[in-house]
Amino acid sequence: MTPQAPRCVVLALLCAASLGAQSPPMRVWPGAAPGEKGGIGVEGDTTTPKDNLIAGRPLIRLGNVSDPTLTVYRPASGDTGAAVLVCPGGGYHILAMDLEGTEVCEWLNSIGITGVLLKYRVPAREGQPAYAAPLQDAQRSVGIVRSHAKEWGIDPARVGILGFSAGGHLSATLCAHADARTYPRVDESDDASCRPDFQILIYPGGLVGKEKEKAYTVGPEAAVTAGTPPTFLAMALDDPVRVENVLGYAMALKEAKVPFELHVYPTGGHGYGLRPTKDFVTTWPKRAADWMKGRGILGAN
């Protein structure tokens, strides 16, 4: 490269050099997932030409997932040993697999973190809470990550979770159900702890009640305790999913004396992932990276 090469080209090459290759997807369950009976339809992208674009680009809206998988993204360089399970959002109806999944794993790689993308079961199963099947998938997935820590070059004491929208609700629900699996033991992966060491919640939904008197009260499935891991939260004030979700959760964290960092931005709406827009809420990845550095998640301070 010549000394006159454009700065943007240099930055692009440096970024690309930090990204590693992804593994082939691995099944979360060796057989059928607990309670699966089939009949939900064929898995596939449900996006139509009428669906909205995010930052001028389309996204994958994956539906009818009955066979959960994990895909591991390893940094090509600067590996810190930390790992993050990534949970896309989609209202427990679909999964925004690129916007809130693959693109997030690539960002994690760029700061030296192994990204583990969870394709969890959607839509909600009849007769069950929307989070019930995804919670089983998430519990087992954290155990799988820890059981493969040596093989994947991961520090089992620095395994976190990052969720968007419904994936944020799933993350918080997992943290509230880390003491016991909600399914029968399958193998040695279920002997490892499923408690994340930290969590990052980006525009989470469903954490607090919709009624006026419960607008800041965290639901029982995501209850905060002294055992809830350190948490980073970010959301826009004009988010139609309601900023009370992060405000109420942050108040519960404060009451339980759990360390947290909260960022509320004036504008930005919902569902932007980490694609840059004119709104400063899309600078949250820099804030989250600084938070992880400050907590020693990315190695020694």
Buried b (16+ CB within 10 A) or exposed e, 33-52: bbebeeebeeeeebbeeeee
Flag whether 53 is in a domain. no
pLDDT digit string (tens) for 184-213? 999 999 999 999 999 999 999 999 999 999
pLDDT tens for 64-107 read 999 999 999 999 999 999 999 999 999 999 999 999 999 999 99
Domain containing 274 — which CATH number?
Answer: 3.40.50.1820
Give tens-digit pLDDT for 11-48.
344 444 445 668 899 999 999 999 998 889 999 999 99
- pLDDT above 70: percentage of residues in the chain: 92
Structural domain tally of the chain?
Answer: 1
Mean pLDDT, the chain, rounded, equals 93
Give residue 8's pLDDT: 38
Q: Where are the beta strands (DSSP E) in the chain?
A: 26-27, 44-45, 61-63, 69-73, 83-87, 95-96, 114-119, 159-164, 198-202, 231-236, 260-265
Q: Are 223 and 186 in contact (CB under 8 A)?
A: no
What's the domain range around 234?
59-294
pLDDT tens digits, 243-270: 999 999 999 999 999 999 999 999 999 9
- Specify if 117 maps to a domain: yes
What is residue 11's predicted lDDT score, i.e. its pLDDT? Answer: 36
- Cβ–Cβ under 8 Å, residues 81 and 74: no
Give residue 47's pLDDT: 96
pLDDT value, residue 20: 67
Q: Residue 233 domain-assigned? A: yes
Model pTM?
0.92
pLDDT at 38: 83
In a domain, 4, yes or no: no
106-139 pLDDT per residue, tens? 999 999 999 999 999 999 999 999 999 999 999 9
What's the CA gap between 201 and 232, in Å, rounded? 6
Residue 230 lies in a domain: yes
Provide, for the chain, the percentages of residues in helix, strand and coil under a 3-state DSSP scheme, each rounded to the nearest 5: 30, 20, 50
The confidence score (pLDDT) of residue 116 equals 98
Residues 6+ apart with CB under 8 A from 286: none
Q: Give the model confidence (pLDDT) of 136-184 as tens digits.
A: 999 999 999 999 999 999 999 999 999 999 999 999 999 999 999 999 9
On whether residue 116 sits in a domain, the answer given is: yes
Give per-residue pLDDT as tens, 268-292: 999 999 999 999 999 999 999 999 9
Model pLDDT, residue 22 = 82
Is 39 part of any domain? Answer: no
Taking residues 45-68, what's their average pLDDT? 96
Q: What was the pLDDT predicted at 39?
A: 85
Give a yes or no: residue 186 inside a domain: yes
CB 145 within 8 A of CB 83: yes
Going by pLDDT thresholds of 50, 70 and 90, the confidence category of residue 299 is confident
